[in-house]
Structure 1
Amino acid sequence: MELEKYEPLEESGVKQYDSGSISKNRGLVWLGGIAFTFFIALLGLGLSKIVGFNRIGPLACSIIIAVIYRQIAGYPEKFRTGIEFSAKKLLRFAIILYGLKLNIDVIFNQGLPLLVRDIGTVTFAIVAMVLIAKWLKADASISLLLAVGTGVCGAAAVAAISPIVKAKEEDTAISVGIIALMGTLFSIIYTLLRPVLPLSALDYGIWSGISLHEIAHVALAGAPAGEDALAVALLAKLGRVFLLIPLCFLFMYWMKRRSSDNAVQETKIDFPWFLVGFIMMSLIGSYVFGAYITVSPVIMDGISKTTTFILTMAMIGLGLNVSLQALRTKAMRPLLAMAITSLILSIISYFIV
């Protein structure tokens, strides 16, 4: 896209430019950046339909495309403002919409026993991941994001925590890719183990829900055990999603304490207003939809797919900041730490079901 040339305006011997034309072209460049992430997201969605790639989902597929594009063509600087808008603003909007997936009423009425186990899962995953990563001397930022993603709800948790802990966009993208890879691997292993494990369908569903990473991974592993097992698996998983709310505020408190203890340089912690939106959407989905407003399953499914697509666009903006050199030098040890943590979590949670 070629930008039009601006004609200087002579006024009192001083050259000026038409601010209206400049604003117009900046707006077009901004829209171009958003369109760029939209197009790559479509490619990622199409790639995720292919056998093999359908196991890792559109988010990971889109990040792969974005990373490959970065290595071949470099970062598209021309569209940076629009791409950054997708990576930051659309990311928060997707997290807000994600709140509709959390039915608080169901958790409080049916899932309190599961919630206790979920608290144990989240606590263990974060503590174990941080300790193992420290032992392996893995990158601290990526390890922390992976710890939260492993304990709570995968990519959505990583995306929610990332701005609070001031993580780099590159680290966020790497973490989401690792979560998608590891979660897919474990969900396939669960599916293969199900016929030989001495677990009832419901117990298998609980095991899947309290230990696997993403909601999609829980659905993938739980579906072969039947509808009842899948339902309890998703209920257990939603309890972990619910814990994202208090966890974010705990991390805010931790970051503030950390910055106040630093006498040299204090870091301003912006309040994550998108979490308020997340809570509001959770309340609407839990107590308004169904009770006062009837929403068809088709519409809810459409909102869910839209949320995933918007989150995918945001991930592309993050993925464009990843270099293969960073993947080689920063990702391997956090990947190993997460593999060890996920394995231990699966074994422990199996014996407490």
Structure 2
Amino acid sequence: MTLLRLSVPTHVLASLLGAALLVLAPTTASADPLQEAGRLMKQGQLGPALERTDQALAAKPKDAQARFMKGLILTEMGRQNDAIVVFTKLTEDYPELPEPYNNLAVLYAQQRQFEKAKNALEMAIRTHPSYATAHENLGDIYARMASQAYDKALQIDSSNASAQTKLALIRDLMSNSARPAALASRSTTGKVPASAAPAAKQEAPSATKPEPAPAARTEPVDPKPAPVAEAKSAGGEPEVEKALRGWADAWSAKDFKAYLAAYASDFQTPGGQPRSAWEAERARRINKPESIQIGIENLQVALEGERATARFRQNYKSGKLKTSATKTMVLVRRDGRWLIQQERVGN
């Protein structure tokens, strides 16, 4: 399963590929410490970033932006339970905002509490029906829950061919749709708490204008493919295409060493699982006795300096399983080679 996208203010962590975003605007009183916290967080200095955020909260304990950022920092620090407490309180004080619900779903999914993740996403959608991120994340949760149900069916009746086919299809979809936990940095409603008072007040929260997202320390989780841009460095589209076709050929030939070499060292694995666990899972699937055929069609490449976004139609055939899906990959140029950093199914 792909890791769900996490909402994050753009001055803390950027949204992907320079998209313009609506950000949760900090209140005036806590702007300076929050900006400093954002700078520190981008540099990976999470402890000092948390201290600056706590300074802002000491002055305005109800400040929604500071509380939101604290939840993000705690998540980055691996303190999931503490982050859950922060985002849960935000949903209580500002129930009209969908992002805290989405973030709770991310954290619950990481803990394999899929029912809680589903409920949180349904609340996000209820507060904002056009929240596309929550809809997509809910689909991921349904896929994971379906996988568990089919697996249970096979435990009861291992000869159930229909369940075997469906389980294989879902597992293949999830293992090949790595979209990293993006820290989605926008207010999807355009509404933000304007003061320390909870959002239950009658006044409608104000909306901020979209602004360009700064560069991020880590790849966020709501990856929006970059617009087509002219190449700004050597390599270009032919080399990106060559790298992708080499990846597909290695997969088809069951050359696992060459297949693995197509991925960057900082490849964002599905669900944020350890790289070693992801490699073991891919080895198990690729080394199965059935032949594998991987085809690439309708390849489109958008270049931005040392980064490329590729969209194409992937045709997969192995044994009785045959699928075709749109795939998006983000590649980075390292030491003269284009390597896969992100991989997901869909646009």
Question: Which category of TM-score, normalised to the shorter sequence, fits these structures?
Answer: under 0.3
More RCO (CA 8 Å, sep 6+): 1
TM-score (norm 2): 0.24
State the TM-score, normalizing by the size of structure 1.
Answer: 0.24
